[in-house]
Amino acid sequence: MIYTITVNPSIDYVLQLKNLNTGEVNRTQNDVKLPGGKGINVSRIMKELKIDSTALGFVGGATGSMFLELLAQHNLKTAFTKVSEDTRINVKINAVDQKEETEINGAGPAITTDERQKFIDGLDGVGDGDIVVMAGSLCKNLDASFYLDIAKKIQAQGAEFIIDTTGQALLDTLPLHPLVVKPNHHELAELFDVEFKDQQEIITYARKLLEKGAKHVLISMAGDGALLVTKDKAYKANAPKGTVINSVGAGDSMIAGFAGTFMETKDPIESFHMGAACGSATAFSQDIAVKEKIDEVYKQINITEV
């Protein structure tokens, strides 16, 4: 079984307007509310790929109830831990004429010691052969060691983990050998406090994540595609041409496509191909991509050694 952990899920309030004028009243052309959060997006893509997953995390308050209602439409298996503070609302603004996406993400609820413990105890059933995907920001009073504690616990129970987070929280988990890490190229540069001049430098720094313990390293580069870097090789997936509608969740979709395919095939290149297809398919969709879109985009992706 794959478990996804979204510590800090959200209602994603996606607003589309022609132009965003800050300091003025702006009116939307179209708006939707989606059940958001990185692990949720991973579970949603896995559902499209017919791969079973259970979504875990903290939910609370009236916004938490609405989040669960929105999520119910997707028929995912879930086991959330209830908390007393409200689930956050994240605002995503797509200014169509300006071709600009602006995101404002809430801080999310504070988690009490009891709620934290209840969540950790809920992982007792995770075991041999399971994969746990941990993705997204932590709630405001959870320290960076939260992911590390989970990784240690589920590993002791025989499961593997994938982590999609940034900064020190990511670096701390590398000695535990995560199955996959997927920083985007900006996050990779920040990790090492460098600026990349070319693709070769990105590959060099991605390899440092392998040296520190990651089993597979993907680097996503939005409209420039993605890289899969192994000890002695590197592969590039192109980003097919298409109309970008809402790229929120493209990175999560890539992780879902990679992890789901890897669990079934153990073939990193085929998994990368599917990951890239899911990422671009989501960028070309209003919401997280559906299977038909993924299949269409898959045929337009080429994986080349670089």
Ligand X SMILES: Nc1ncnc2c1ncn2[C@@H]1O[C@H](COP(=O)(O)OP(=O)(O)OP(=O)(O)O)[C@@H](O)[C@H]1O
So which residues are the catalytic ones? 252
Work out the angle between the directed axes of helices 250-265 and 38-48 (0-180°, nearest 10): 50
Q: Does 184 bind ligand X (CB under 6 A)?
A: yes
Q: Does 260 bind ligand X (CB under 6 A)?
A: no
d(CA 204, CA 186): 14
Closer Cβ to ligand F1X, 14 or 217, answer by number: 14
For the record, the structure tokens of 3 come out as: 């478990």
Q: Does 252 bind ligand X (CB under 6 A)?
A: yes
Residues binding ligand F1X: what is the number (CB under 6 A)?
16
Give the closest residue to 271 by CA, choosing from 260, 282, 280.
260
Q: Which amino acid is at 173?
A: T
Q: Which does 12 bind (CB under 5 to 8 A by kind): ligand X, ligand F1X, none?
A: ligand F1X
- Which residue's C-beta sits nearest to ligand X? 251
Site track for ligand F1X across 7-46, x = CB under 6 A: -x-x-x-----------------------xxx--x-----
Give the closest residue to 179 by CA, choosing from 136, 142, 220, 131.
131
Q: Does 226 bind ligand X (CB under 6 A)?
A: yes
CB of 253 to ligand F1X, least distance (A): 9
Distances (CA, A) of 1 to 53, 58, 69, 125, 154: 6, 20, 24, 11, 13
d(CA 248, CA 263): 25
CB of 184 to ligand F1X, least distance (A): 10
Give the closest residue to 32 by CA, choosing from 78, 74, 91.
91
Q: Does 93 bind ligand F1X (CB under 6 A)?
A: no
Contacts of 282 (CB under 8 A, 6+ apart): 41, 45, 246, 247, 249, 250, 252, 253, 288, 289
Q: Does 283 bind ligand X (CB under 6 A)?
A: yes
Among 91, 189, 222, 303, which residue interacts with ligand X (rule: CB under 6 A)? 222
Q: Does 247 bind ligand F1X (CB under 6 A)?
A: no
Among 163, 276, 288, 294, which residue interacts with ligand X (rule: CB under 6 A)? 276
Q: Please give the backbone phi and psi of residue 270, each rounded to the nearest 5 degrees, phi first.
A: -65, -35
- Which residues in 118-137 contact ligand F1X (CB under 6 A)? 136-137
Q: Does 271 bind ligand X (CB under 6 A)?
A: no
Q: Does 254 bind ligand X (CB under 6 A)?
A: yes
Distances (CA, A) of 235 to 28, 219, 273, 282: 40, 10, 10, 21
Closer Cβ to ligand X, 46 or 250, answer by number: 250
Q: Given the rule CB under 6 A, which residues bind ligand F1X? A: 8, 10, 12, 36-38, 41, 90, 103, 105, 136-137, 248-249, 251-252
